Chain A
Amino acid sequence: MVTDGSQTMTKTGQPLVQMEGIYRSFVKDRQVIPVLQDINLEVGENEILCLVGESGCGKTTTGKIIAGLLEPSRGVMRVADRAIGDYRGREKALLRRQLQIVHQDPFASLNPAHTIGDILSFPLKRHRMTEGGAALKRRIWELLTMVDLTPPGDMVNKYPHQLSGGQRQRVSIARALTVQPRLIVADEAVSMVDVSIRITLLKMLLRLRQELGLTIVFITHDLALAKYFAWEGRIAVMYLGRIVEIGRTPDVIAHPAHPYTRALLAAVPEADPELTRHKQTIALRSDDIPRLTDIPPGCAFHPRCPFFAAGTCDAHTPHLKAAPGWDQQVACLLVQQGAL
């Protein structure tokens, strides 16, 4: 059998999270909005998986389902090979803790009335992660050191508003780590901070992955950042609620298969004047992103796709699968037929 890197796991091999045929919709103004459709995704133990795509494509919704904050409307979610519906009682509580999410805006998620010490001690106490005051204090210092908020002694008494954006983001990460998770969903966790601080945070996350064996699902709309962070992992590209391409990061970035991925990559400016000025962009047939309540038939990208083939792309819905000649999986009929 040919090895297909796109859905296989990293070193340790075991899938931690499996999404099988996941659909999710919301009802708004009596209208059903299909936000996720037929998501099939495995995230391996200790893996880095990056979700990219334009605003509204369903990245956060996918991340919330992975973290157990949102139920799928249809389909099966498995964690460590067991459907989440099979987890009960203590096991269910444990599962909750093992999957954590860090949101984009730490301002909104850190209580301004609590010190950093409080913010970290609450979950530690609630989940009885430590025994006694001395151990609690030691753990808080350990966590602050882990996320480079040093000296910890100065940090514990500060309030969120006394910290910079990058420091607040570290507090959020430290808080997620209090319950010793196996997986962290980082949803646009660094997009609010400056380039320089961004890299510091990303390096820290990569180090934590190494040290703690964490699995990281990284959500961003910045492809260059995704490339840097997930170079040793995989990228999944989403469009209108579906994954249209998934594979090892170097494969997807250097040889994008799906026309949408190709267009995205071609559109990104580069921090190199000569290179970026000579870059060939791909013109789309339309700039308009269709509404989720009015998803085009066939391939949802067909009204914008520069390679659109009438009778094929608007007639059949492509599913994510391996395509001859490509190392990644792709949901494009033409690529699957070998025509692109």
Chain B
Amino acid sequence: MSLDMNKVVLSVRDVSVSYLARRGRVRAVSQVSFDLHAGETLALIGESGCGKSTLNLALIRQLPKNASIDSGSIAYTYRDGRTVNLLDFDKTAMRRYLWSECSMVFQGALNSLNPVLRVSDLVYETAAAHGIGRLEAQTRALKLFEQVRLDAKRVFNSYPHEMSGGMRQRVLLALSLLLRPQIVIMDEPTTAVDILTQRSILDVLKQLRAELNFSVIFISHDLAVAAEIADTVATMYAGEIVEIGPVNDVFYRSRHAYTLSLLNAAPRLSAGAETLESIPGSPPDLIEPPPGCKFHERCAYAQPICRTTPPPMVAYNNGAGRAACHETARVLADARHKA
């Protein structure tokens, strides 16, 4: 319906990002490539420190000073068909790009809304920076607040402290859409919120997406949330995308041992008594990553080749998905195979 696999909005190629730290160069994102299509929701999953936030900060060029984008390109295609490389943008061009082409909702933002500003001030401020007048801004905001099921007029005149966490998160979601961007990036928007709050955020997101047809990059530790809202799932490990594909392929026909290990560690409410397997050890040092497959030290499927040779990316179903694991055949045989 809304997902248009023929229209690529964002094309990321071989992007690498590193931080300069005291001990050396932290290779937080290595050679990441993917396409984001119109109306697509891409979920990035992976353990803490695997580079999810760094990748997203790179996509909006908001990395901290000690970080650098060492290689690659990020091609963005406007609604009129023009394509640009975001890495060529200067500060002014980037400022114009943010909010109107791509906006973001950070988890931390929930508590960092300026307490002395009313929601209406935020709306006017954001709109004015992009040349939109107060009346137009107000009309748009009220409509969006209704769409995220808020008492629109009341919320418009509220201060952040007058709203619950769930309301604030929905306000942020609505604000992110004020300038009608093609892409919304959400970093852990439902982590640390209550179950019913998470439910209302997910429902509202699904509804808005259907109505306004934007693309979403969604970062989450929570596999269940990814299973519910993603069209495409990308597994990151030690700075690399090690597997990416349609949600059903990644969950039911996992091709990378790490993806399958993550799934086998996630409890499912409806599964009755479960034996879960933990992943031994912890993610590798990103200053001196291990040779071969970076996951090999923790991998139950590892063979001698995994210790020496980085596994190549192998595509399946005419490029619908791909994974980089030497032992795909065995992993696939053990995968969950449903649907």
Contacts and interface: CB of A to CB of B under 8 A. Distances in A.
B66 interface: no
A271 B263 contact: yes
Contacts of B47: 194-196
Contacts of B265: 195-196, 198-199
Interface residues of A, number: 43
Contacts of B200: 287
Nearest to A260: B196
10 contacts: A196-B47, A196-B261, A200-B280, A224-B269, A270-B269, A271-B266, A272-B338, A273-B247, A273-B251, A277-B228
A108 interface: no
Given A267-B199, A274-B248, A274-B339, A166 B282 contact: yes
Contacts of B247: 273
A228 B224 contact: no
Contacts of B146: none
A224 B267 CA distance: 6
Interface in A119-157: none
B272 A250 contact: yes
Given A197-B278, A231-B273, A269-B202, A263 B196 contact: yes
A269 B251 CA distance: 14
Interface string B194-219: 11111110110000000000000000
Interface string B27-46: 00000000000000000000
Interface string B237-274: 00000000001100110000000011101111110111
A253 B274 CA distance: 13
B222 to A, nearest CB: 8
Given A166-B282, A281-B203, A267 B195 contact: yes
Given A195-B221, A197-B282, A275-B270, 18 more contacts: A54-B195, A54-B197, A55-B165, A195-B223, A195-B265, A199-B277, A267-B196, A267-B198, A267-B199, A268-B269, A269-B225, A270-B228, A271-B227, A271-B266, A271-B268, A273-B248, A274-B339, A276-B227
B278 A203 contact: yes
Nearest to A196: B279
A91 interface: no
B256 to A, nearest CB: 15
Contact of B195 (A166, A228, A264): A264
A272 to B, nearest CB: 6
A273 B199 contact: no
